[in-house]
Structure formats: C-alpha cells, structure tokens
DNA sequence: ATATCTGCAAAAGGTTTGCAGACCG
DNA sequence: CGGTCTGCAAACCTTTTGCAGATAT
C-alpha cells in the first residue's frame, strides 16, 4: 500500500518541476525549490506576499523580487496559473494544465477548487467552433460567501 | 415600428442609471453622464484610460480621478462590472446583472460577449447546493486568438 | 569557469486619497 | 444655500527592472 502521506506527493511534484527547470537551462536554486514547495503544499491559492512569508520561514534571506521572477518563469512553463481578482493582488494556483473552476469567498478571500463537473473541455471546442477563435485557456470563477463566513453573521 | 437606432437604446440606459443615481442621493453630473454614455456605446469593454479619453472628447476638463470615483459608485450599484485581467488594467462591462461569458483575445486584448448558451444560471444553484456557499456572482472567460489576429500570422 | 540567479533599491504602472474650490438640487 | 462632486497632486501598492555580487552546473 501507499504509506507516503500527501506531503510526499507534493514533494514529488516539486522535484518534477525542478528537473523540468534544469532541462530547460534554468537553475534549481534553493529559493525556487522553497517557492515551489510553498505552492505545492498550500491549499488556498496564496498571493505573492503569502508565498514570500512562507518561503522566508525557511530562507530568511529570500527577496520579494525573486518570488516575482520565479513565478514569472513558472507561469511561462505552465507550472503555475495566475488569478487576477478585482481589488486584490494576484493569487497563484499550482495545479497542472487541467482546468477546474474556482470558488472564491468574497469575505475571507479563500479560494477553493471545484471538481470539474460536466463537459468542461468540450465547451472550449464549442466556443471555438462558434466564434472562429483559437481557444487557449479558460477561467471560471464563482463568487460567494463560504459556510464559515456565513455563520459569522 | 421602432425607428430609433441603437444609440437611443444606449441613451435610454444612460438616463435610467442617472435617475437611479439621483434616487439614491448621488448627483447626475455631466461627467458621470459622459462616463455612462461612453460605457453604454462602447462595444469592446474599455479600460479606464480609454473611458477617460473618450469622455475627454466631450469634456476636456474631466480628470482620471473622477472616472475612477464614478466607476467605483457604478460598481457598487451593479450598473457596471469590473474585469481584472493578469498583466492589464481593469476592463469595464456595462451590461446589467445578467450573466454572460467573455471571449478575450490574448493578442489584441479585445473582449466580446458570448451568448449565454446553456443552463448558465442553474450552474450557480448546483454549486451552491454542492458546497454550502451562498453564490453571489460568476465569471467565465475564454482566452484565445480572434480570427483577425490569427490571420496576421 | 561562466552564465544564470539573487538581493537590493529604484522605477514604473495603476488606483486611491485629501483637500480647496465648483456645482447640483 | 448646503452637501456632494470635481480636479489636482501626492500617496499607495503591487509588480518590474537594473545592476553588482553570489552561485549552480
């Protein structure tokens, strides 16, 4: 059986992306590893500041600029997705290229992933066929109030 | 029959929102009217700078701060929707509270509305039932390249 | 060994805010 | 008239950039 916890899944994912970086001529620095680790283990789609704080717990010398630069590379690789939200700094999503909708609490700003319910991928093809666009990506967010925040009213 | 063009539809919408503003104790200033008019007649979801330029064509004395302040009020009223997009300034959508997906060209940044295809509204209820969230809004964007931009390759 | 990466600090947007005077109702 | 709104300029925040020294390969 599988005696490894979720932490090891995350670590495996981190290692995979690190070696992908190396293959492309990028360097696998400890800062980058720490940033990836922070993303891989966080569940609520942190913003840059939160990633920065989390990384600094392990590497107090890490700078905000490095976090930004690393995220830019990871975005290009498709290893990380960026979510811009009105009135907030960007949030980051470590999922792979697979699409899923987000559920965003307007009160506590928590973001959780929704299970891909129905024929999500086929919709892209429908849109492409209808419009003549070449569809490259998709984003589907629901805004609401989570059960915890609702209770506090 | 209807001999009035689309311009008059837009103007009616502008007047309706202006009187809604008045009812709520806000003032219907010429700047606000011009901003609303710009939004109502523009088709590709302008950003603040574009609204500003368009308004200045009629009112050269209008300031950027006033555009921002007016948009903040209109957002609160629900008369305008704000679209944050990674690496860009916010875009504005004058539609009412009715939901529709967007199609965003990653090349020319044009945004067009998609016809609400299927059971869009029922999805919100599904999500609410599944998650216990109170759903307040939704956003669904497709990113791709429009036929015009594809041709230029 | 050397090209890439880091940290720092400054720059660069975009957006917000404070205030004195203008103006809607 | 009185309270709201405008324009200006400065402040603010997030993100980007340039550069000298450090480091992964």
Q: Measure, in angstroms, how far nucleotide C6 C1' is from residue A76 CA.
A: 20
Q: Which residues of A touch B83 (CB under 8 A)?
A: 86
Phi, psi of A90 (to 5 degrees): -65, 150
**Nearest residue, CB atoms, A106 vs list B90, B101, B136:** B136
Closest CA relative to residue A61, chosen from A29, A96, A98: A29
> Could you give the CA distance from residue B20 to residue B24 in angstroms, rounded to a whole number?
6
Kindly determine whether residue A146 and residue B132, on different chains, have CB atoms separated by under 8 Å. Answer: yes
Q: How far is the CA of A113 from the C1' of C3 (A)?
A: 40
Q: What is the pLDDT of residue A95?
A: 75
Q: Which residue is nearest to nucleotide C13 (CA to C1')?
A: B89
- Gap from B82 CA to C22 C1', Å: 30
Residue A54 beta carbon within 7 A of nucleic strand C: no
Q: How far is B121 from chain A (nearest CA, A)?
A: 11
CB contact under 8 A, A131 and B106: no
Comparing every residue's Cα with the C1' atom of nucleotide D24, the nearest one is: A27
Cα atoms in the Cβ-side hemisphere of radius 13 Å centred on A101 = 21
C-alpha to C-alpha distance for A135 and B103, rounded to whole angstroms: 9
- The band of B104, judged by pLDDT with boundaries at 50, 70 and 90, is very high
Backbone angles phi, psi at A41, to 5 degrees: -100, -10
Q: What is the pLDDT of residue B15?
A: 95
First CA to last CA distance, chain A:
45
A137 in reach of chain B (CB within 8 A)? yes
pLDDT given for residue B115 in this prediction:
81
Scan residues 83-102 of A and list those with Cβ closer than 8 Å to B: 83-87, 90, 101
The pLDDT value recorded for residue A64 is: 98
- The pLDDT profile of chain A, 153 residues, written as one tens digit per residue, is 555 556 788 899 999 999 999 999 999 999 999 999 999 999 889 999 999 999 999 899 899 999 999 999 999 999 999 999 998 999 999 876 678 899 999 999 999 998 876 555 668 899 999 999 999 999 999 999 999 999 987
What is the CB neighbour count within 10 angstroms for residue A118?
A: 11
**Encoded tokens for B114:** 């998609």
The answer to whether the CB atoms of A144 and B132 lie below 8 A apart is no
B136 CB neighbours in chain A (<8 A) are 106, 143-145
Is A133–B142 a contact, with Cβ atoms under 8 angstroms apart?
yes
Region at B87 (left for phi over 0; alpha for psi -120 to 50; beta for the rest): left
Residue B20 clears pLDDT 90, i.e. is over it? yes
């Amino acid at each position: 059986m599988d005696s490894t916890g979720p932490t090891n899944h995350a670590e495996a994912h981190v290692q995979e992306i690190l070696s992908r970086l190396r293959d492309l001529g990028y360097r696998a620095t400890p800062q980058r590893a720490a940033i990836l680790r922070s993303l891989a283990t966080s569940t609520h789609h942190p913003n840059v500041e939160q990633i920065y704080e989390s990384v600094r717990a392990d590497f107090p010398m890490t700078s905000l600029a490095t976090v930004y630069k690393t995220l830019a590379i990871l975005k290009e690789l498709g290893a990380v997705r960026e979510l811009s939200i009105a009135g907030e700094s960007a949030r980051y999503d470590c999922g792979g290229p697979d699409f899923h909708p987000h559920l965003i609490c307007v009160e506590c700003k928590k973001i959780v992933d929704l299970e891909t319910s129905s024929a999500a991928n086929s919709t892209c093809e429908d849109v492409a066929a209808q419009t003549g666009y070449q569809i490259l990506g998709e984003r589907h967010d629901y805004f609401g109030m989570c059960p915890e925040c609702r209770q506090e009213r």
